[in-house]
Structure 1
Amino acid sequence: MELKQTIGHIQISDDVISKMVGEITSATCEITSMSAGLVESISKIWSGRSLTNGIAIRRKDDLVEINVRVIMRYGSKVHEVCRELQYKVIEQIEHFTGLTIQAVNVIVEAITPPQTSAKY
Structure 2
Amino acid sequence: MKSTSINTHLGNIAIDNEVIAQYAGAVANECFGIVGMANVNVADGLVSLLKKDNIKRGIGVSIGQGRKLTLDFHVIVAYGVSISAVTDNLIDNVKYKVEEFTGLEIEKINIFVEGVRVID
Counterpart mapping for 1:32-111 below 5 A? 32-39=35-42, 52-61=56-65, 62-111=67-116
Query: Identity rate of aligned residues, in percent?
Result: 26
Residues 26-47 of structure 1 show CA distances to partners (whole Å, capped at 9, x for unaligned) of: 11231111101125x9xxxxxx
Unaligned runs of 5+ in 1: 42-49, 116-120
1:15 aligns to what?
18
Q: Which moved more, 1:24-33 or 1:79-88?
A: 24-33
- Structure 2 unmatched runs, 5+: 1-7, 45-53
Q: Which runs of 4+ in 1 moved over 3 A?
A: none
| TM-score relative to the length of structure 1 | 0.76
Report the CA distance between 1:114 and its aligned residue: 7.0
Q: Give the number of aligned pairs.
A: 103
TM-score, structure 2 as length reference: 0.76
Name which one, 1 or 2, has greater alpha-carbon Rg. Answer: 1
Alignment RMSD (CA, Å): 2.4
Between Structure 1 and Structure 2, the one with more strand by share is 2
